[in-house]
A and B are shown apart, each in its own frame.
Chain A
Amino acid sequence: DIQMTQSPAALSASVGDRVTITCRASQSIDIHLNWYQQKPGKAPKLLICGASSLQSGVPSRFSGSGSATDFTLTISSLQPEDFATYYCQQSYGEVVTFGGGTKVDIK
């Protein structure tokens, strides 16, 4: 199975900060990479698919980039509602796999 490694596992940031989360695949996955946001006690929410395609209704401060094995999720100006855990997920292999998550909390 394709292994997905996210970093950092956690970060503390302030409102207005630019935040970058990275995700690395154990083999090339082209652009078959998706990002989700999960808040405590809630289901995940799809933010970005195909590495950089923003889902309808997702604020433009979220952006994704990358291809092959290295990907990033960027929040250009962190808002109070963005404090959550973020997961990457590859949709290239027969077995879908997620990264371990990055928890973004308030500094």
Chain B
Amino acid sequence: EEKLVESGGGLVQPGRSLRLSCTASGFTFSNYWMHWVRQAPGKGLVWIARLDGDGNNIGYADSVRGRFTVSRDNAKNTLYLEMTSLRGEDAAVFYCARDGGYSSGYFDTFDLWGQGTVVTVSS
């Protein structure tokens, strides 16, 4: 079974840092671009970042560029999101998602999602 499992969420004070992880199983992780998407409570989906299978080609949303860093360790089948200088508006459920490009040719299409990890930013 193809699966993504996020971890690392929790309560963090404003201005502090947090690292999220997303562990993949059931597919060849290194073949796929990966993304992070977040959803604030009661709100819609917002794309945050992407990186390619080698971890060399990276893109960010303006709202997180310079504060968040996406990376991966293909030997561990794991995607990371390092978040610094966290703000109240960063509070959300964070999802990792697999890019469908390798499977279907439709890039920037999210064909597999994790269950999400909750980040709360509060003093």
In B36-85, the 8 Å CB interface with A consists of 44-47, 50, 59, 61-62
State whether the Cβ of A46 lies closer than 8 Å to any Cβ in chain B.
yes
**In the complex, chain B residues whose CB is within 8 Å of the CB of A44:** 45, 95, 110, 113
Tally of B interface residues using CB under 8 Å: 22
State whether the Cβ of A81 lies closer than 8 Å to any Cβ in chain B.
no
Contact with A along B97-117 (1 / 0, CB 8 A): 000100010111111011110
- B110 pairs with A95, CB closer than 8 A: no
- B47 pairs with A43, CB closer than 8 A: no
Interface of A is mostly: loop
Knowing that A44-B113, A97-B47, A99-B44 are A-B contacts, what are 8 other residue pairs whose CB atoms are under 8 Å apart, sorted by A's residue number? Answer: A36-B110, A43-B116, A44-B110, A49-B100, A49-B106, A95-B47, A96-B47, A100-B44
A residues with a Cβ closer than 8 A to B are 1, 32, 34, 36, 38, 42-46, 49-50, 53, 55, 87, 89, 91, 94-101
